[in-house]
Amino acid sequence: MDISNIARKLDLSNNNLVVRKAAEIRRLCDAQFDSSIIGVGEIGKAVICLEIAASRLDVLFDRQAAVKLSGMSEKAYTRSFNSLQNVIGFKIKLNVKELAIQFGCVRIIKSVQNMLSSYKERFLASLPASRRASADFTRPVFTAAAFYLCAKKQKLKVDKLRLIEVCGTSESEFSCVSTSMIDLCFDCVGVSKEKKDAKDVKGNRELLDVLPGKRRLEDGGCSSDDESSSYKRHKKMEEVKYEDWKSTVVDSIKKNPEKGTKKVIQTSLSFSKKTETNELQVES
């Protein structure tokens, strides 16, 4: 399918510069690898090339319409988009300030910058001297992970999936980098998880306890011995009431034995006499 026709469906036909750039990126993809290996068809590849071209030229692009046109799910589209970018060598440049403005977290700019510098120092210190020169921190996933962790530390809501989409990485890579940052810089971005004591958590305990003796007193509570004795006392009272009722029933039967042993006799129905009467009435 011609890339200009796809551009027209995405309202990009008037921007000839984007169309030419997308065609150039498509030829580059065809020369370097077969996109069908990663499950991307010709239409999907053309759509992704148009988005890459639009992002490089700072042109607005409708991602939802592109996903619908490509015939892929949003997750598959994002994965294919990231794979194509990595293959052709197009790296997304993320700026902390731009991210902060885009997600509305301007106050964490300094924290993210300090976090990145601390992580680089500690990560390089953990590597052997022979591998330190090859360490690459220019990938946007590092900036995105640091931004997300700092926002979480300060209890700011950031759309994680949207952030992964912006940085052009995968969920697994983002999770891996985030875990590494938490391990090395827990003092900067770590969030302590306090386990609550079960005794401090107040629930509707009274709805679960059937017997009143098993309910806790709200004024300071009661010990297990008190609960046990209260339950036994209540059980004993129930047994006494049952014995009283039983003796009352037995006494009433003894006083009126005929009433207690009286049987109900069912009367028999006879239809013969009624039938004979009806016949006589008909003859007369």
The pair of structure tokens assigned to 113 is 């910058």
pLDDT the model gives residue 146: 92
* Architecture of domain 96-189 in this structure: Orthogonal Bundle (1.10)
Residue 94 to residue 167: CA distance in whole angstroms:
7
Domain range 3-88, CATH class: mainly alpha
What is the chain's Cα-based Rg? Answer: 40
Identity at 1, one-letter amino acid code:
M
Q: Residue 187, class by beta-carbon neighbours within 10 Å (0-12 exposed, 13-18 middle, 19+ buried)?
A: exposed
Domain 3-88 matches domain 96-189 at the CATH topology level: yes
Question: What confidence score (pLDDT) does residue 270 get?
Answer: 57
pLDDT in 10s for each residue of the chain, 284 residues: 678 888 888 888 788 888 898 888 888 888 877 777 767 888 888 888 888 888 888 788 888 888 888 888 887 887 788 778 777 777 677 788 888 888 888 899 999 999 999 999 988 888 888 888 888 788 888 999 999 999 998 888 888 888 887 777 778 888 999 999 998 888 887 766 544 444 443 443 343 344 444 444 444 444 445 555 666 777 778 888 888 888 887 777 777 665 555 555 555 555 555 555 555 455 54
Distance, in Å, from the CA atom of 212 to the CA atom of 55, rounded to the nearest integer, reads 68
- Give which of 150, 196, 134, 143 is closest to 167, Cα–Cα: 143
pTM of the model: 0.50
- SS3 assignment for 176-201: HHHHHHHHHCHHHHCCCCCCCCCCCC
Contacts of 252 (CB under 8 A, 6+ apart): 260
Q: Where are the domains of the chain?
A: 3-88, 96-189
User: 268: helix, coil or strand?
Assistant: coil
State residue 101's pLDDT score.
87
Q: Cα separation of 170 and 161, whole Å?
A: 10
User: Please, are residues 84 and 48 in contact by the beta-carbon 8 Å criterion?
Assistant: yes
